[in-house]
Structure formats: C-alpha cells, structure tokens
Chain A
C-alpha cells in the first residue's frame, strides 16, 4: 500500500463512516426516547435514495401512496371508538397532522416530476416523503405497545423492517437505482482527489450530530424527550405525553435517514434491501457509543468506516464479517467498563 492508496481509502472510510454515524445517532435518538432498537432505520434510507432516483427518472415514487394510506389509517385508528361528537370535533386537527402533510408531500412529488431539472425540488419532495413516514410508523406499529419490554419492541421493530423491505421491493422493484450527483466538483488535496459529494456528506453529518447534541443537552424539549425514556410515568406527570415524544423522535430519525439517503444516492447503487446492511453497520457504531453517547457513537462509526475500508483492501471477501465481528470485543469492553444502562428502567 502506498500513500495514494492510503489516502484514497481514508476518504472512502471517512465518507462511509459519516453515513454510519448519521445512522448511529438516529438509532441512539430513538432508543433513548422510546427504548426501541429501530432496525427499520435502514429502510428509510433506502426509501429516500430510491425515491430520489425515481423522481429523477420522471416518475412518482409509490412510497407516496403508502404514506397517504398510512396517514388515513392513523386518523381512522385515532377516531375509532370515540363518541361521534368528540371525534367530529377532533377530526380537523388529526387530518391536519396526519393526512394533510402526506398529501402535500405527494403534491410536491408531482410538481418535481413535472420539473425534472429542479434538483432542489426533488430533494425537498424526498425529504418530505421519508420524514413523514416516521410518526406514522410509530403510531401504527409502536404506540399501541409503547409500555412493552425492550425485547418485544425489538421483535416488532424487526417485523416492521420486513414489512418495509417488502414494500420497497413492491414500489421500487428489485433493480438498483442511482441518482445524479449533486455536484461534479472536486479538488486536489495533495495527491487526493476530494469530491464535493463526500465533503457534503461529512459536513451534513457533523451538522446533524451537533444539532442533536444541542437539542438533548441544552434544550428543555430535548430533556423532556429523554425523560420519557428514563421514566415514562414520571414524564407523564410532568405533562410530557409519551405518544408525542415517540412520534417526535421517529420524525427526527426519519429526517436523518432521509438526509442520509439523499446524500448516498449519487455515490452508491441502492437496492430495496441495501438499507439493512447500512443500518447494521450504524448499529455497531451506536453500540460503541453504548446506545447513549452521540460523540462516542460518531467516533465508533468512523472506526467502522476505517475498518471496512482497510479490510476491503486487504481481505475484501471478509469485509462485512470483519466489521460485524468488531461488535464482540466492543460488547465485552462495554459490559465490563460501564454499569448497565437499563438501571433506570428497573428501578
């Protein structure tokens, strides 16, 4: 290996590591608020990348219809079982929260199909479609069992993962898609050819990690979200609705996934099931962060990126096993060094 290759591998490692970091922080965000290990986070990424590519191909992604149907189902569920006069009174608010935004996202998608040269419109539509899926998935799959144990929540998360993967195959087909690059710019840094695309990924990751850190460490809203995870009854008694916290954390996670999907769409060919592998690697990063620390998880994700880049050079057939084996020493180290993080739960 010479310096050129080392630099090239590093760029690859940092770019991938940044994507894994986005995943890792979204996983931690969801876990710290809802105790859900959110396996389907990867599907949101695939949905975003595939939606963007579909829009660029001049078609409306089928995910839009899934979104609208989901929104209608949420309103139907919320309304059922309520006395008629009350349901009628609450209906406008519910439609505004769960049906109007998906319809707006659909309109945005149609608009961007009509204007194929407006990249920003395609990105905006993609972000809207995927971000809005977050609260709907939470409401339909997790809200009814929000008090269940971590294990049950994990099993449901796996089920949601399979459902969404199937939906992805249905809407986007089995073929891989790749969207147009945002920018063909690149510049020389010594021997290295740095592309604007990978720079954008790193900057977006850093910005989102910083924003999340600020939200949870410095704002009362963030602390209220976190309080739900520590003690649900306690949080309710402070007026923090666990349903709202859950929906909010899923919205944020879906937004992060949408951003990651949009960012990787031009540099990787994304298939309907690509997201799962990415989210597993992000999970390794999140585990290094103990499912609690954003900076540690980001550093861990970077480590995963470097490990992956290195092993793809020396031992490419074992690239994925090497990365996933990393989780064993990490778990050993974490269980020996840190006290159980579920202590609040059991108290």
Chain B
C-alpha cells in the first residue's frame, strides 16, 4: 500500500483491547485518511466505544497504532494526542457540568492557548455561529442544557482545539430526529473544513449516508468493511442494520 499520495492520519494494525482477561476488541485493523469520514457501525456492546478509548490512549492497547504518521515505541498520552490534533467526543460527552457554556468552550481551546495561540475569541464566535443556540445560553451552566444542546456543546468544545482528526462516539444517541439531522449536517460540514472524522454509530442509516468508508463491528471484530455506498447495498448490512425498508443507496 502506498501511503505517500494519500496521507493516512491513523492506521491501526491488529489492535486488541482487553479488560482483564476479556478481550473487548480483537485484532482490529483500520485506516483513516485525510479528509475522510469513516464510520464504525454495529450493535450495542460490540466494542466500538472501547476501540475509540484505546485509539485516544484512554485505555492501553496491544497492536500497532500510527497516528499522524508517527511511530513511537512508547504509547502516547491523551494530552500528547490532543496536542497533535486528535479529539474525542465520548458518548457521555464529559462536559464540565457546573461551569458555564462559555467556560466549557474556552477550555476546549486550553491547549492551544497554552501553546501561545491567542485567537480564542474568534474561535468562540465561530462556534457560536455554528451553534446559535449556544450563544443564547453562553452564561448558563452546562449541566442544565438539554441533550441536543449538550451534544452541540461537546462538538463546539472539541472544535475549539482545531482538531485534525475527531473521534465521535454515538453523536446521535438519545437525541430527537430533528436534532440528529442537524448534528449529521454539521459532521458533513466539518469534513468540508478539512476535519477527518471517525464516527461510531448505532444509527447505521445516518452514519452510512455521511461516511466515505465504513466498518461493521460485531462482538469485538470487524466483520464487513468497504465504501459506505457499497455497505449500504450489502445484503447482510441491510438485513441487520438498515431493515427491509432500506431506500435507494445514498450518493455523496
């Protein structure tokens, strides 16, 4: 495989992640190239969240992971990955509940600020333009927000760090259909802004619509992979994840 003409942001080879003796992720390989949206779909408990945590260095993993082309012998820390341009929006969002919306967002830019960047103001305005609702609630405590607003705040907070690669865990979980559509519209917009995305979703239909490439994960392993358009037509995927009412394949 020649990576020179299509830069791979993240390459994982034979990654296994275990809790004690139980392997939650077994020998998984994946690749995300610059400017791509890659989706991982699959049922609850397949190991998707664990895989993201491992890629973000929140959990120790076995196997080889190359992030931004770097192969260091020792595993990086979360903080190093953040500085290198990786971001994770966990399923639980992990907001700072008793802080204001604005402080949450400003902390999203903390590492850049520590590095000497002083454009936090305009970044903040950029996020507020993307999510006008957050501007209205800028002084409100994050813990008092609705589910959709919390997801917007989590996205906005991650964007304040200017990530090159964003890992999104179940962004549509527990949200109303209208908000889900809004979130996926924004994910699509992020790709246009040059942010690559690894998207973990149970909502396979929406995920395959927005993604370029996709993996199907079942009990710890990838069972199917291919372009998102091809997967949306794959009989096994249609039967298990899209249902019989699958519509015509989406086009990008």
Q: Which residues of A contact B (CB under 8 A)?
A: 82-83, 86, 220, 223-224, 226-227, 230-231, 233-241, 343-344, 347
A344/B97 in contact, CB under 8 A: yes
B94/A237 in contact, CB under 8 A: yes
Q: Given A230-B97, A347-B97, is A238 in contact with B111 using a C-beta cutoff of 8 Å?
A: yes
Which chain B positions have C-beta within 8 A of A235? 96, 107
Which chain B positions have C-beta within 8 A of A236? 58, 78-79
Q: Identify the closest chain B residue to A85 (Cβ).
A: B73
Dominant secondary structure of chain A at its interface with chain B = helix
Least CB distance, B124 to chain A, in whole angstroms: 12
A240/B110 in contact, CB under 8 A: yes
Which chain A positions have C-beta within 8 A of B90? 233, 237
Q: Does B108 contact A (CB under 8 A)?
A: yes
B97/A239 in contact, CB under 8 A: no
Which chain A positions have C-beta within 8 A of B74? 82-83, 86
For residues 6 through 59 of chain B, which have their beta carbon under 8 Å from a beta carbon of chain A? Answer: 56, 58
Which chain B positions have C-beta within 8 A of A231? 94-97
Of A226, A236, A238, A347, the most chain B CB neighbours within 10 A belong to A238
B107/A238 in contact, CB under 8 A: yes
For residues 75 through 117 of chain B, which have their beta carbon under 8 Å from a beta carbon of chain A? Answer: 77-79, 82-83, 87-88, 90, 94-99, 103, 106-108, 110-111, 113-114
Q: Does B157 contact A (CB under 8 A)?
A: yes
A230 and B82 alpha carbons, distance in the complex (Å): 19
A241/B106 in contact, CB under 8 A: no
A231 and B87 alpha carbons, distance in the complex (Å): 16
Least CB distance, B249 to chain A, in whole angstroms: 35
A234 and B95 alpha carbons, distance in the complex (Å): 6
Which chain B positions have C-beta within 8 A of A347? 97, 143
A230 and B104 alpha carbons, distance in the complex (Å): 11
Q: Does B161 contact A (CB under 8 A)?
A: yes
A239/B161 in contact, CB under 8 A: yes
